[in-house]
Amino acid sequence: MTMPPGPPPPPQPYAGMPQPGPTPPPEKSKLWLILGLVALAVVVIAIAVVLFVVLVLRAGTVTATQVKLGDCLSEIPDGSQVRTLETIDCAEPHAGEVFAVLQMPDGDFPGQDAMVKYANRCAPELASYSPAAVTDDLVRLFVLFPTDETWSDGDRAVTCVATLDPPRAGSLRG
């Protein structure tokens, strides 16, 4: 048997066999679907945790200019410039209580010395707010007053705080 010159012809389908059609697209992997759902779940959980922390755990955080008469503080700040404070229910043990918020007159920033002098008005305010606190050796005064920066934003409040060491439950007001 002699072969014609050149390469052999390609295989031919058998007669009566269906002709092959176009190749179907590959099946989408279920793995990618599962990974996508897991990633989505992680993102949703992360958002829920952040919202919980911001809305629930930090619910008592206020700026120093937002505290008001009768607010109780979970702790007394230790810095010279205080931006935020943690307020809590006075029925809980707390380290301080706002007993007066004095408003300084408008005008140019009076300077640190004038602030300290104005803060001397806090002691008589404590006597009015809580006469018993004046004779309590464990009650001290802490004063928050405007800085040059907060003054330019309109802050004129000198906030008088009675500190309690050790912390105690219940209001000092009497």
Instruction: Tell me the pLDDT of the chain (174 aa) as tens digits.
Output: 566 677 777 776 666 666 666 766 556 678 888 888 899 999 988 888 887 665 554 456 777 789 999 999 999 988 767 888 999 999 999 999 999 999 999 999 999 888 889 889 999 999 999 999 999 999 999 999 898 888 999 999 999 999 999 999 999 997
Q: Are residues 91 and 149 in the same domain?
A: yes
Q: How many CB atoms lie within 10 A of CB 15?
A: 5
The enclosing H or E element of 41 equals helix 30-52
Q: Are residues 46 and 103 in the same domain?
A: no
- The pLDDT of residue 20 is 63
- The pLDDT of residue 109 is 93
Q: Are residues 82 and 106 in the same domain?
A: yes
CA angle (171 as vertex; 94, 125 as ends), nearest 5: 105
70: left (phi over 0), alpha (psi -120 to 50) or beta: left
- The pLDDT of residue 82 is 81
Boundary-marking domain end, from 61, 77, 102: 61
Q: Are residues 94 and 159 in the same domain?
A: yes
CA angle (141 as vertex; 157, 77 as ends), nearest 5: 70
Whether residue 13 is contained in a domain is answered as no
Whether residue 8 is contained in a domain is answered as no
> What residue has token string 């004779």?
135
> What residue has token string 């992997």?
29
| CA–centroid distance for 138 within its chain | 31
Q: How many CB atoms lie within 10 A of CB 133?
A: 20
Q: Are residues 44 and 78 in the same domain?
A: no
- Paired with 88 in beta bridges are 72
Whether residue 125 is contained in a domain is answered as yes
- The pLDDT of residue 3 is 65
Q: Are residues 135 and 159 in the same domain?
A: yes
Number of domains in the chain: 2
Q: Are residues 57 and 73 in the same domain?
A: no
Q: Are residues 69 and 119 in the same domain?
A: yes
Whether residue 20 is contained in a domain is answered as no
Q: Are residues 56 and 96 in the same domain?
A: no
pTM of the model: 0.64
Q: Are residues 114 and 137 in the same domain?
A: yes
- Domain of 43, in residue numbers: 32-61
Q: Are residues 57 and 78 in the same domain?
A: no
Q: Are residues 111 and 141 in the same domain?
A: yes
Whether residue 21 is contained in a domain is answered as no
Evaluate whether 88 touches 94 at the Cβ level (below 8 Å): yes
